[in-house]
Structure 1
């Protein structure tokens, strides 16, 4: 069960670029591509930012704070997508990608990272085929709001991996 939660906690960061591009299907394709690229850039920059923040706070506090900020930014992002405010969507998608829960920094696992990217792509393709344009954005928010707090609580209570799963780098 802990592996499924770890996968679900990685999903908000990997699904966001696909979700933003899919949500902007009614806008210009170049704008959707550019905003998706900004979300990808934010996702790649989130790992060094997560490592930096992990030095000053505990991994548990980092993951919980990032989940809260991510969900707030995602709600604003969904509203901006519905209003087709492309400049605001660009800023919010970059911010949400930077604030994606740093599960891949706290507990590195390349196999789960690859699985999360593949699952994100499959989910985006399926939602695109059934014309559910905003569903991946909602899935991002639900995954961050549900899986990250449960995962942190399970780790802090000692279930399965215990505190070893949330250790600081270098300690």
Structure 2
């Protein structure tokens, strides 16, 4: 009932966070006390919540109860299955606020954002620190310089698996592959 009304009568005396149920408050209090009453009988590691112990014990038992319906691969954690299923669905829910790219995992977005923000800032400053030794043209990103240098070197690293053609850019190969 309290879930529907939003009532949270159980309040943490340390941080004033409110809870609908007393059991949730008791679990929360362990974040302040450091108490870990649930101990693994195999390795003696202990946990604040019984659910964390149950999940941990799967390391010892080898149990992987979360199975992918598409390919049959199994996982210990439901969250790992959710991330895995994005391989099949193509879902990329984590989008960079600075560019068009999106990612399957939040960790991939975090890794991307550090370099993307710098590149985005260069749009405003006009800074182009990557200079071609062959012609002097400058670029905001090192990857753009590498692509450009293929004009001078003639390198075509993207090879078609169906014919003899090769390309300077991956996007050109992708376009070409549609002809087969």
TM-score range, shorter chain: under 0.3
Normalised by the length of structure 1, the TM-score is 0.23
Whose Rg is larger? 2
Normalised by the length of structure 2, the TM-score is 0.22
Bigger strand share? 2
Bigger helix share? 1
Which of structures 1 and 2 has the larger relative contact order (alpha carbons within 8 angstroms, sep 6+)? 1
